[in-house]
Chain A
């Protein structure tokens, strides 16, 4: 198939960027979106142009680094899919595909489609961990966890930290990400000792780093590649209120 790509090009964080249009012929519908970009980049390099910079690592939907806004949606048109797992068969011959970086002041563009997502790391460093000694593998089996809690914690733990929730939200809110982390850790006995401190510091960090507040539009949940539910946000709110009331 033949397509046209309209891609955001920005040489570095300080320069202004703009959209460039690249026609690309003989794209296989079996290619992943990233393979298609590799193919484009090979052509660009042959022509002596700068390749399009984009972030990627695992290319199997587990690392969360391949975020980009494709044809108006984070990670493209397919539901619950990362960009690396998106196939070109989701598009039609002759399509013009716009590719933009995540847009949020908390995620500044570094180059082309790559944004600085270290704000997420800072939030995690502020409280998204367990500092008690959780022991070795067999110790985990001696501390019983309700099946329901284990299942819910597992669902929340699938969050990749990709940032699609922030990119999709009209307020650039990071609530779904933080909610997934807080919920995941608060559901285990190992995580409960620090639960109250954790939720307070993580929310404070989120506010400090310039993410917006939640207005319950549900855009995050609709675009999350892991289908993290906003019921996590309700739990985050509960945890937050209880922690604050106990102060």
Chain B
């Protein structure tokens, strides 16, 4: 294991594993959030309450934060190192028709996702965790839970431009993952001429699910409420 993470391939391994971990998180996060669209809000509130109180989730939460931090730090290290490798550029470089735009702009895409992430955390997570959010009691007062539904729907109904920001954030994330998904497996070494095509297809499917799934929620509140 000597010095594996100081090598260029080892740094990529960290990007890949942290990226895969974040992608699993995104799916769970999306499934919980889609409950905003069913029923009168109680379903979502119960799900959010479960996520906020469950012990396993509490353990995973700091690991998740660490996953983001590691991914971002290594993204910055790799990008800075790579930028130094061509002091004089080409005056003419045309497309080869294969390289995707997303693959060449992962840092920019990731950076905008990060800006969105900070906004997103201040909008909801921070308020639920440290702010004053009205609580509801259900099951004859057995469960006291925060009214996360009203917090979310309140924001999305009141400000159309927040809806827009959330849709743009979801699309940028989708682009990041349209490349990131299969790249993570390529980095791990799970690839050959057959699997690369399959993984690329799954990458697009995954990216579309994430981008549309997270876009539907603000659009639902914007249009239907």
Contact = CB atoms under 8 A, between A and B. Distances in A.
B85 A171 contact: yes
B88 A235 contact: no
Interface residues of A, number: 48
Interface in A90-142: 98, 100, 103-106
Interface stretch (A22-30, A49-57, A225-233): A225-233
Interface string B85-107: 11111111110111110011010
Given A98-B92, A223-B96, A247-B1, A230 B85 contact: no
A45 B12 CA distance: 50
Dominant secondary structure of chain A at its interface with chain B = mixed
Contacts of A244: 1-2, 4, 10
A237 B183 CA distance: 12
Interface stretch (A35-43, A59-67, A190-198, A208-216): A208-216
Interface string B180-196: 00110011111111001
B99 A213 contact: no
Interface residues of B, number: 44
Contacts of A173: 8, 82, 85
Contacts, number: 135
Contact of A219 (B7, B88, B96, B183): B96
Contacts of B84: 105, 210, 212
Interface in A199-247: 203-204, 206-207, 210-219, 221-223, 229-231, 233-238, 240-241, 244-245, 247
Nearest to A72: B94
A206 B7 CA distance: 10
Contact of A215 (B2, B103, B182, B196): B103
A3 to B, nearest CB: 15
A177 interface: no
B85 A211 contact: yes
Given A100-B92, A213-B12, 4 more contacts: A215-B103, A216-B182, A222-B96, A244-B2
Interface of B: 1-2, 4, 7-13, 78, 81-82, 84-94, 96-100, 103-104, 106, 179, 182-183, 186-193, 196
Closest 5 CB pairs of A and B: A238-B189, A72-B94, A234-B191, A213-B8, A172-B85
